[in-house]
Structure 1
Amino acid sequence: MYRAKGRFWEIDFLRGLAVVLMLGYHFLYDLDFFRLAEFELNSGLLSYIGRGAAEMFILVSGAALSISYSRANGTGSSSSTSASHSSSTLASFSATSSSSTSSSALTTSAFPSKLFRKYLRRGLKLFTLGLVLTAVTRIFLPERYILFGILHFFGVSAILAYPYLRLKEVNLLMALLFFIPGYWLGTRTFGFSTLIWLGFRPEHFQALDYFPVFPWFGMVLLGIYLGNSLYAGGIRQFAVPAFEGSGAVKGFAWLGKHSLFIYFIHQPLFLALLWTAGYLDLNLI
């Protein structure tokens, strides 16, 4: 089934699947963190689930950004269609901005500077939400507070991605230029902290959430490549089964559409659930 307008159910479904994996992983993380149960989260299956959820969020966000850009820039047959997918980057978890995905798209007469301001506003919004998490975790978990987590990353990547949104194969090469140095940086620590956001981790650095530009922006670029290849011009270039009417698909898609909101509230809800059940002493937080 090809489509030139509206949302693509498979995009929302994949984002919703990532939400489910994230919720499961983070709930187990909380149980382990507060010593209510023991789980090996840094290796084995659970580590793959946690990392896989983040990778799926970021990959889908890159694809969603490219779809939005194609439609807003008028490169597809539906230039007046709403830029429906990039507004929920999450998230990011992105290139996740919010669940409102029906804002009016820019037409072919739009100036590039106006398009850029759209992504700049989205990026600043996400980065601001990230700063809220920084403040909250700095108060309650000062030893592992979030300095540059996935919301910060999505905010920065929404802006950095703009020059790459019209590219295709070049993004594969550019992705490698982020993956390879990112892997190298991940094996080392440094005597300074000013470049944490890029991937230069200082010694003894610990954080509840950490997504530096190297290597993770490479995943955004890979998603943009997939979006420009599989959804060229904002139009699906392949046939998919008509599963959007399925109850299960609708459920996952709903989660995907509201991924940013879910991400922002899920930890307070988990803590409230554990406290209500009598498993958590709030003095431990």
Structure 2
Amino acid sequence: MARHADRFWEIDCLRGFAVLIMLLYHFLYDLDFFELADIQLRSGSILYAGRFSASLFILISGTSLSISHSRALDKEFDGNGAENFLKYLKRGLKLYFMGLLLTGITWIFLPEEYIIFGILHFFGVSAVLVYPFLKYGKENLFFSLFFGLSGLYLRQRTFECSSLLWLGFTPENFRTMDYFPLFPWFGVLLAGVFLGNFLYTGGKRQFEIPYIGKNPIFRLFSSVGQNSLVIYFIHQPLFLGLLFLSGLIDPGML
């Protein structure tokens, strides 16, 4: 068992693995967008790899939220249900603001598919919305299915307005390089919350697992996982900067 205050290395590794797949997917996306390679990202295994990495990342985030919530219950609690909601609100605002910065950056460099409601926007909103769900156990499976199936239904339809993009109501010919509406992705997050409550009850691991975190590969994954937010925020501007500096693309291509 890990000590109560320790990080769980397997969660960091899985998060890092998801981030590395995401980095590869977004780099290929940039190459395809600027017609530097014919990758056909909108179909085939590469698209599924991108979806898999996003699903895994969000699932693990839900698990981590559950663990953090469980550990907070062992500390100060004011008895009125307020607990540490302010912490979730502050984190949500921080993530959403970072998402808005990426919206501005991609609007400048990738105006045809700039990020409108990407994964950082999603985490910003869901960090607040998830709070009342953290107290539930098996019920989160039902909520997860509701959001997930509703999202799949909405994905097959288009709507005239764009004010509900954050929920999953998309207009015709909508294009963006990063889109994570609450339907269905909040369902994936809630599935992670369920797993966290089940596999890490009370913030403690409920199963035995050999420690292999000293393996160089797993140490790399773990390091990436522990710094996933910073990596995600800087990776796309870094990719674009490298492509500009290499001379592969120039402002006239935008």
**TM-score bucket of the superposed structures, by smaller chain:** over 0.9
**Corresponding position: 1:8 with 2:8:** yes
Please name the residue that 2:186 is paired with: 217
**Corresponding position: 1:282 with 2:251:** yes
Cα drift, residue 267 of structure 1:
1.3
More helix as a share of residues:
2
Contact 1:71 1:233 in 2 (8 A): yes
Partner secondary structure for residue 13 of structure 2: helix
Please name the residue that 2:165 is paired with: 196
Q: Distance in 1 between matches of 2:93 and 2:119?
A: 14
Cα drift, residue 143 of structure 1:
2.6
Contact 1:4 1:236 in 2 (8 A): no
1:16 alignment partner AA? G
Contact 2:77 2:83 in 1 (8 A): no
Q: 1:206 to 1:7 in 2, by over 3 A?
A: same
Large movers: runs of 4+ above 4 Å: 108-111
Number of residues paired by the alignment? 254
Cα drift, residue 274 of structure 1:
2.2
Please name the residue that 1:247 is paired with: 216
Gaps of 5+ in 2: none
Partner secondary structure for residue 178 of structure 2: coil
1:238 alignment partner AA? F
| Aligned-residue identity in percent | 55
Gaps of 5+ in 1: 80-106
Q: 1:110 to 1:139 in 2, by over 3 A?
A: farther
Aligned ranges 1:229-268 → 2 under 5 Å = 229-268=198-237
**Corresponding position: 1:57 with 2:57:** yes
Q: 1:134 to 1:110 in 2, by over 3 A?
A: farther
Cα drift, residue 29 of structure 1:
0.7
So what's the TM-score if we normalise by structure 2? 0.95
**Corresponding position: 1:172 with 2:147:** no
2:234 alignment partner AA? I
Higher relative contact order (CA 8 A, sep 6+): 2
Let me know the Cα RMSD of the aligned residues.
1.5
Q: 1:110 to 1:24 in 2, by over 3 A?
A: farther
